[in-house]
């Protein structure tokens, strides 16, 4: 029985090559590696139903169509060449060199020749050109077309070199990287089909921008901007506003004002207080120009401004994060095309006052406001600040005096106190000198605080009485005050009549009970002294003996108390 089975198997093995040699194939390609051959076979299989792949005796891998009868194969080769559906160097093969079949995966060789259908059906997806054909097609491109192709590769993130129309190693590597990303064979030479797909995506994206050169004669600025997304709205010096047209989040500001280097530097600072320039982003300033970028979860922006001929001119472009790729390119186009002209800037009197004017707006732009504003005060000559610990753990950024970034140096949540140190050394005009004796009950006290946040530039003095040397439940370490305060006052210094600091106003934590408005508490001097000592901060003692004039106290408090801003 075993001998019969072996004999039948040998007959089949001998029969297959014989049958294969009576069949004719249209060989269309050969590749040196199995991986490349499988990729090409897969591409052709999208267009033809009779694609087969075989390993050759040479070690290469052949891709063929068939099998056909001899006459059918010749007709098919001629027709497919005429329709340019296969490479022009395709040829007929009897399959004598075909060995193990690798395509279709898992199939055995089709050895029965078939007559092709008399009518050739146009395939739904054309196979790509060979590298030789792709190079020939590439040679027909004009220099402008080659440069645009490099722009498209740069747009897709594959090319970073010069746009010169020369297809050197950098361009070839970029093409190969693009092909690999698109699951094409990374030959480094784009086929016509691949090139068309790349250019279509590039052109369609830029078509939505509606790029056009705008000459704003009042601002004295010429720039190419995305007019398909914005249109002129109004002048509010120093800005010309171009607002979005389709709720797309895109916005353009042209900046135009007379001035000098101080004006440029002032604009650099002011722009960073506006909501259109988010806190996160690169900042660069030199003697004649600056660049600001900003990114958050809702908004990205790019700002450029330069000083020339006694005028500061520039622009800001804003967009939504999901459009980053397109709008970063638009920003670069605006920067490259930006050209001031004439000898005039926006007239400060141009435009009409808006009925929506607000102290929260600057020339129609929303000023960034801190999420929480409290009070602190200087305790030494280097600008160290003592304040309340309230919500500090929720702040991504802390500023003191509305402009200096600071870090938390020490905090005690139980006491409700914190020490902040500025990121750069400061030289405050005044700092706290603490009371050395025991305060007298029912004596006059005053709290300096930014009751209304940053609405006022100076702290407000609130007057009252020292009601008790302890808390309502007899707690040591705090004084009870009889005065009305607002949340922004928390962290402010409590003065006695001589101007000595006798405590720090604490956040009013009432829990489930509502206390009268005039009941407040302050950490007393011993509590503050222990906290500062543990934090390595020395404290000065007051040597004042007589009462301080209210006007002098107001001035002293203004020089010592600072706004503490929390940015989440």
pLDDT above 70 (res 355)? no
Say which range, 3-17, 188-202, 368-382, has the weakest mean pLDDT. 3-17
The predicted pLDDT at position 124 comes to 37
Lowest mean pLDDT among 89-93, 123-127, 258-262: 123-127
Q: Two tokens at 425?
A: 């050394």
pLDDT at position 14, please?
Answer: 39
Question: pLDDT of 448-472, one tens digit each?
Answer: 999 998 888 899 999 999 999 999 9
What is the arithmetic mean of pLDDT over 95-100? 89
Q: Dig out the tokens for 184 from the structure.
A: 């094409």
Give the range with max mean pLDDT: 122-131, 328-337, 364-373: 328-337
> Rounded to an integer, what distance in angstroms lies between the CA atom of residue 418 and that of residue 110?
83
Domains within the chain, CATH numbers bracketed = 2-103 (3.30.70.1070), 131-207 (1.10.101), 211-365 (3.40.1000.10), 369-568 (2.40.10.120)
Given pLDDT bands bounded at 50, 70 and 90, which one contains residue 544?
confident
Contact residues for 112 (Cβ-Cβ < 8 A; gap 6+): 19, 23, 67
**pLDDT value at 336 more than 60:** yes
Instruction: Dump pLDDT digits (tens) for 204-251.
Output: 888 888 989 999 999 999 999 999 999 999 999 899 999 999 888 899
| pLDDT tens per residue, range 388-412 | 998 788 888 899 988 899 999 999 9
Q: Of 39 and 354, which is predicted with more confidence? A: 39
Highest mean pLDDT among 43-47, 100-104, 495-499: 495-499
C-alpha distances out from residue 568 to 191, 283, 296, 368, 469, Å: 51, 20, 12, 12, 36
Mean pLDDT of 320-324: 91
Mean pLDDT of 489-506: 96
Residues 213 and 222 sit within 8 Å (Cβ to Cβ):
yes
235, 221 contact by CB (below 8 A): no
Q: Are 314 and 305 in contact (CB under 8 A)?
A: yes
pLDDT in tens, 60-73: 899 999 999 988 88
Residue 146 host element (H or E): helix 143-155
What does the pLDDT average to over 189-203? 91
**Least confidently predicted of 121-125, 153-157, 177-181, 438-442:** 121-125
Say if residue 122 is exposed, middle or buried (CB neighbours under 10 Å; 0-12, 13-18, 19+).
exposed
Q: 49 near 61, Cβ under 8 Å? A: no
Q: Where is 411: in which H helix or E strand?
A: strand 404-412
Q: Hey, what's the torsion of the CAs at 517, 486, 548, 458, to 10 degrees?
A: -160
Residue listed under structure tokens 């004295």: 220
Q: Does the pLDDT value for residue 351 go beyond 80?
A: no
For residues 492-512, give the mean pLDDT: 89
The pLDDT of residue 3 = 47
Sheet bearing 221-226, strands edge to edge: 211-216, 221-226, 339-340
Please state, in angstroms and rounded to a whole number, the distance separating the CA atoms of residues 428 and 450.
18
CB neighbours of residue 490 within 10 Å: 26
**What's the rounded Cα separation, in Å, for the pair 496 and 492?**
13
Rounded average pLDDT over 265-276:
89
Report the share of the chain in percent with pLDDT over 70.
Answer: 88
pTM assigned to the model: 0.54
Q: Is the pLDDT of residue 125 over 70?
A: no
Q: Kindly report which listed range (182-186, 465-469, 522-526) carries the lowest average pLDDT score.
A: 182-186
For the beta carbon of residue 555, count every other beta carbon within 10 angstroms. 15
Look at residue 121 in the predicted model and tell me its pLDDT: 39
pLDDT-above-90 percentage for the chain: 57
Indicate whether 552 pLDDT > 90: yes
User: Which pLDDT belongs to residue 359?
Assistant: 38
Q: In the prediction, which pLDDT does 22 show?
A: 61
Integer angstrom CA distances of residue 119 from 49, 68, 76, 79: 15, 15, 10, 10
pLDDT at 78: 87
- 3-state secondary structure at position 377: strand
Q: What pLDDT shows up at residue 79?
A: 84
DSSP secondary structure letter of residue 188: S
Query: pLDDT averaged over the chain?
Result: 86
Note the pLDDT of residue 352. 59
Q: How far apart are CA 216 and CA 131, in angstroms?
A: 50
Q: Tell me, rounded to whole angstroms, the distance of Cα 559 from its chain centroid.
A: 39
Lowest mean pLDDT among 45-54, 103-112, 255-264, 316-325: 103-112
Q: Is residue 537 over pLDDT 90?
A: yes
């Amino acid at each position: 029985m075993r001998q019969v089975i072996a004999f039948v198997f040998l007959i089949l093995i001998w029969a297959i090559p014989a049958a294969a040699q009576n069949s004719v194939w249209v060989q269309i390609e050969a590749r040196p590696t199995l991986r490349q051959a499988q990729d090409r076979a897969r591409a052709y299989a999208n267009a033809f139903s009779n694609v087969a792949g075989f390993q050759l005796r040479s070690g290469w891998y052949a891709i063929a169509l068939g099998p056909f009868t001899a006459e059918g194969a010749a007709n098919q080769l001629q027709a497919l060449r005429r329709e340019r559906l296969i490479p022009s160097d395709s040829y007929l093969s009897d399959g004598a060199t075909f060995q193990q079949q690798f395509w279709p995966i898992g199939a055995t060789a089709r050895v029965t020749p078939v007559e092709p259908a008399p009518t050739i059906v146009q395939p739904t997806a054309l196979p790509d050109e060979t590298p030789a054909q792709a190079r020939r097609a590439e040679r027909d491109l004009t220099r402008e077309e080659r440069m645009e192709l490099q722009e498209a590769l740069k747009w897709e993130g594959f090319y970073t070199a010069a746009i010169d129309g020369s297809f050197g190693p950098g361009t070839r590597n970029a093409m190969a990287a693009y092909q690999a990303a698109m699951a094409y064979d990374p030959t480094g030479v784009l086929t016509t089909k691949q090139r068309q797909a790349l250019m279509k995506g590039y052109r369609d994206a830029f078509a939505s921008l509606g790029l056009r050169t705008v000459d704003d004669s009042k601002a004295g600025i010429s720039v190419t901007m995305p007019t398909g997304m914005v249109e002129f709205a109004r002048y509010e010096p120093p800005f010309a506003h171009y607002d979005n047209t389709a709720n797309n989040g895109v916005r353009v500001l042209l900046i135009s004002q007379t001035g000098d280097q101080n004006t440029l530097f002032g604009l650099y600072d002011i722009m960073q207080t506006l909501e259109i320039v988010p806190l996160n982003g690169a900042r660069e300033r030199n003697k004649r120009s600056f660049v600001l970028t900003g990114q958050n979860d809702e908004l990205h922006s790019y700002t450029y401004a330069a000083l020339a001929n006694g005028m500061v001119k520039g622009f800001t472009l804003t967009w939504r994060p999901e459009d980053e790729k397109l709008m970063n390119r638009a920003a670069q186009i605006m920067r490259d095309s930006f050209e001031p002209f004439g000898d005039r800037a926006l007239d400060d009197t141009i435009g009409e006052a808006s009925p929506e004017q607000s102290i929260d707006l600057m020339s129609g732009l929303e000023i960034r406001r801190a999420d929480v504003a409290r009070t602190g005060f200087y305790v030494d000559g280097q600008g160290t600040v003592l304040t309340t610990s309230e919500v500090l753990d929720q702040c991504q950024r802390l500023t003191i005096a509305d402009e200096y970034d600071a870090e938390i140096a020490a905090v005690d949540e139980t006491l409700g106190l914190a020490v902040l140190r500025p990121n750069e050394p400061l030289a405050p005009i005044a700092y706290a000198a603490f009371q050395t004796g025991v305060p007298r009950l029912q004596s006059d006290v005053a709290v300096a605080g930014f009751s209304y946040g940053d609405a006022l530039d100076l702290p407000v003095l609130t007057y009252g009485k020292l009601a008790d040397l302890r808390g309502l439940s007899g707690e040591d370490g705090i004084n009870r005050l009889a005065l009305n305060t607002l949340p922004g006052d928390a962290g402010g210094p409590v003065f006695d009549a001589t101007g000595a600091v006798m405590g720090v106003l604490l956040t009013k934590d009432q829990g489930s009970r509502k206390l009268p408005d005039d009941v407040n508490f302050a950490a007393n001097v011993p509590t503050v002294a222990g906290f500062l000592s543990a934090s390595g901060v020395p404290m000065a003692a007051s040597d004042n003996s007589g009462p301080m004039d209210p006007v002098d106290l107001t001035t002293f408090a203004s020089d010592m108390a600072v706004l503490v801003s929390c940015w989440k």
